[in-house]
Amino acid sequence: MTGVILMYHRVAKSADDAYGLAVSPDHFGAQVAHLNDLDCVVPLAEILEPSKALKIAITFDDGYADNASTAAPLLASAGLPATYFITTGRLGGRHFWWDRLAVGLLSNHPKPSGIDVTVGSRALWLALHDPGACLTSLRFLHRRLRPLPPDELLATVDDLLERLGAPEPPGDQVSMTAEDLREISQLPVVAIGAHTRTHLQLSGQSEDLQQDEVMGSLADLGEILNQPIMSFAYPFGSRSAIGDLAPRLARESGCALACSTEEGPVLRGSDRYRLPRLNVRDWGAAEFADRIDELARDR
């Protein structure tokens, strides 16, 4: 075994965290303290180097603003390296489509008992008559939106939310700006990686679109930061959502490694372009330690 890669998304208090993406600041602080005690956190670039001792790398996906305002300063002050995978086309204090969808379907604004929506060429009915039905419809719709090309996906979400008269998500639930990105990139032991331009599910898309999303996001970050970008993370990164082309594109683009969302430890024989991670939830220190120990025992 060489290590465990932790995958975070947000550090924020979130009463309505439909996707389980947020770790509260208190829990994150406790997790950071535990990682400090372990004294085994390394830069992601070192996770594949052979070692008899446990190594842990910290990563953040998407590029939420709280990564810059809350997570990065705390980690830097603790001296813990971390890699931030950025969705370049969403920089600028913008809401991600899945958060807009969650607010549109789950918030308390007046809604019909159900609504028709066309996803791709398929007509669907979403039941919205009570909170349980709304949550079920959110999960159902999310799975069916993900494979769409980005323009069609966003148009479908925009149309649905306009018909529902949905409010926007909270103002703190937005992406970081390019200036935020530049600032955190200057912090000690911070690395920046790419996460596509639009948070596209890559599998099933055309070769040209996948190339634009992978290579384009790496080029975007190189231009913003004036430095080479050496790592990549696949959105919705299960094996079926990654496909076969994207890892080849990441390798040909010069990336040293790429991360999936498949759970597991990083082993000596792990594919460096499909590295597994541990999706960190809003766990207290004890459960966080147990989850890491559980993966570490798999070596």
The Cα 138–Cα 117 span in angstroms is: 12
**Does residue 196 sit in the same domain as residue 282?**
yes
Question: What is the count of structural domains for the chain?
Answer: 2
The Cα 257–Cα 175 span in angstroms is: 24
**Does residue 285 sit in the same domain as residue 215?**
yes
- Say what the pLDDT of residue 110 is: 92
- Say what the pLDDT of residue 84 is: 98
Please write the tens of the pLDDT for every residue from 92-125. Answer: 999 999 999 999 999 999 999 999 999 998 999 9
Please report whether residue 198 resides in a domain. Answer: yes
Please report whether residue 170 resides in a domain. Answer: no
- Say what the pLDDT of residue 296 is: 81
End residue of a domain, out of 133, 164, 195: 164
**Does residue 262 sit in the same domain as residue 131?**
no
The per-residue pLDDT string of the chain (299 residues; one tens digit each, 9 = 90 and over) reads 579 999 999 999 987 789 999 999 999 999 999 999 999 999 999 999 988 899 999 999 999 999 999 999 999 999 999 999 999 999 999 999 999 999 999 999 999 999 999 999 899 999 999 999 999 999 999 999 999 999 999 999 999 999 999 998 888 899 999 999 999 999 989 999 999 999 999 999 999 999 999 999 999 999 999 999 999 999 999 999 999 999 999 999 999 999 999 999 999 899 999 999 999 999 999 999 999 999 887 65
The Cα 29–Cα 286 span in angstroms is: 13
Please report whether residue 272 resides in a domain. Answer: yes
**Does residue 111 sit in the same domain as residue 133?**
yes
Q: Give the distance, in angstroms, between the CA of residue 89 and the centroid of all CA atoms in the same chain.
A: 14
Q: Pick from 86, 122, 116: which is nearest to 232 by CA?
A: 86
- Say what the pLDDT of residue 299 is: 58
- Say what the pLDDT of residue 16 is: 78
**Does residue 256 sit in the same domain as residue 197?**
yes
**Does residue 73 sit in the same domain as residue 111?**
no
Please report whether residue 169 resides in a domain. Answer: no
- Say what the pLDDT of residue 29 is: 97
**Does residue 87 sit in the same domain as residue 101?**
no
For 249, the token pair is 């594109």
End residue of a domain, out of 137, 164, 191: 164
Please report whether residue 103 resides in a domain. Answer: yes
| Residue 157 domain boundaries | 97-164
End residue of a domain, out of 164, 197, 213: 164
- Say what the pLDDT of residue 27 is: 97
**Does residue 17 sit in the same domain as residue 157?**
no
Dihedral sign computed on CA atoms, order 35, 57, 70, 75 = positive
**Does residue 182 sit in the same domain as residue 275?**
yes
Please report whether residue 289 resides in a domain. Answer: yes
Instruction: Identify the CATH number of the domain in which residue 199 sits.
Output: 3.20.20.370
Which strand (E) or helix (H) includes residue 57? strand 56-62
Helix (H, G, I), strand (E, B) or coil at 22: strand
**Does residue 126 sit in the same domain as residue 149?**
yes
Please report whether residue 186 resides in a domain. Answer: yes
**Does residue 241 sit in the same domain as residue 118?**
no
- Say what the pLDDT of residue 14 is: 80
**Does residue 71 sit in the same domain as residue 190?**
yes
